[in-house]
Amino acid sequence: MCTIMEEAARGASDRRIREIAERERVTERFLLSGIASGRIVMPCNPAHDPVPAAIGEGLLVKVNANVGTSRDMPDAEAEIRKMDTAIRYGADAVMDLSTGGDIDTIRHMMLARCPVMMGSVPIYEVGLAAARRKAVVDMTEDDIFSGIETHAKDGMDFMTVHCGITRETMKWIRDSGRIMDVVSRGGSFLTAWILHNEEENPLFENFDYLLELARKYEFTLSLGDGFRPGCVSDASDQAQIGELATLGHLVRRAREAGVQAMVEGPGHMTIDQIPANVKMEKTLCGGAPFYVLGPLATDIAPGYDHITSAIGGAIAAQNGADFLCYVTPAEHLSLPDEGDVKEGVIAAKIAAHAGDLSRGLGKDRDDAMARARKTLDWEGMYKVCLDEEKARRYRARGCTGASEGCSMCGDVCAVKIVNDYLVKDRGALGPNTRFDCD
């Protein structure tokens, strides 16, 4: 059976391609050629069949929200509510990173309910199972591939697989002089596994088998950056770039096998380094969609890392990153609650949209907001804003009804004054234009 990539190479359009092309305002041909070349991916496991969506060159920047239980907070229902919240505020994809409670059941519940693309990191579950038996480093190659196959059968549309951590790239991490060494959880499992077992990473060694699974179940590889920098001092070092070069090689092999692949990226990084990092990924990985975690522009703001990551995410998106993984205010501190998830998604959506605007995409919404502001049309503003509930709540503060504006300037609302004199003088607003204060 042909894969999505092979169907695209044949120029075969279908319902999903038509839907995406219409939403993204691109031609079906553009989309098919992007998928065929690997510069665009459409993660879509038939066992899940999410709302069709695509990630990559020439398309709107997408946002992912991570949810999932932990050992200390294993409440599945709470994670489902977080997933719903993330989607309500515009997450294009959700990853289930559960590590507590009945992980299989939680995954099934989420997949059954999740309308958007869903991803996972199977090695978490595999490593935890091994740790319960003895230690993470005792997971076997069979455990790793069985874990991936289980998630594939269940319907995961994309999966993070840390294939770029090899015995060779390990040397660079050992001698790197990094402050934080390895901060990726999956990366830490495989780093420890390689050191303990003195064997090659099975995901690298048997990459062809991984490709067979990806073909069979039609899931997209999200090639993980196990050596992503965990602090700004560790960014853009030999270990990070060496792993990226390895991933570029694996992207080529995936494409040859008709398997969709995207590449994950940093991490913590000062903003001056972000453009070069995006360009490097696009060059080394043949234009594969770049999926970044942040980048977090500084290390000093725990409690506000949705902001540090949105700063980095906007710059990454401006320079060509295609997919932003949200970061919540709880990052580095605790499992996020529902409010943190909402804030994280909105911050990432702002970053993605700012990137889109800089790439000439998605300005209609900003224009609608500007027009509504110009006519003090509050309902119009609420309709296009990212968080209507917050906008209404803030607007209501101090609103006495005496002014068409808001409680910021009261009677001397600049917009109203200019409308009353300059715009009416031009004749742009009709005599019946009303300014209503809610």
Interaction site with ligand SF4 (CB under 6 A)? 405-406, 408-409, 413-415
Q: At its nearest, how many Å lie between ligand SF4 and the CB of residue 362?
A: 24
For residue 431, say if its preceding peptide bond is cis, omega within 30 degrees of 0. no
Contact between residue 290 and residue 247 where contact means Cβ atoms under 8 Å apart: no
Contact between residue 119 and residue 222 where contact means Cβ atoms under 8 Å apart: yes
Distance separating alpha carbons of residues 97 and 328, to the nearest angstrom: 14
Distance separating alpha carbons of residues 396 and 262, to the nearest angstrom: 44
Q: At its nearest, how many Å lie between ligand SF4 and the CB of residue 428?
A: 18
Is 252 or 374 the residue whose CB approaches ligand SF4 more closely? 374
Neighbours of 75 (CB within 10 A): 15
Q: At its nearest, how many Å lie between ligand SF4 and the CB of residue 52?
A: 39
Q: Residue holding tokens 């059976």? A: 1
Contact between residue 294 and residue 308 where contact means Cβ atoms under 8 Å apart: yes
Residue nearest to ligand SF4 (CB): 405
Q: At its nearest, how many Å lie between ligand SF4 and the CB of residue 411?
A: 9
Tokens read off for 300 = 């000093």
Is 176 or 375 the residue whose CB approaches ligand SF4 more closely? 375
Is 15 or 397 the residue whose CB approaches ligand SF4 more closely? 397
Q: At its nearest, how many Å lie between ligand SF4 and the CB of residue 380?
A: 13
Is 250 or 406 the residue whose CB approaches ligand SF4 more closely? 406
Is 32 or 372 the residue whose CB approaches ligand SF4 more closely? 372
Q: At its nearest, how many Å lie between ligand SF4 and the CB of residue 367?
A: 18
Q: Is 292 helix (H, G, I), strand (E, B) or coil?
A: strand
What residue spans of 45-166 are helical by DSSP H? 76-88, 103-113, 122-133, 141-154
Q: At its nearest, how many Å lie between ligand SF4 and the CB of residue 395?
A: 9
Is 363 or 373 the residue whose CB approaches ligand SF4 more closely? 373
Is 284 or 415 the residue whose CB approaches ligand SF4 more closely? 415
Tokens read off for 325 = 């993984």
Closest CA to 351 of 62, 93, 103: 62
Strand pairing report for 55-56 and 40-41: antiparallel
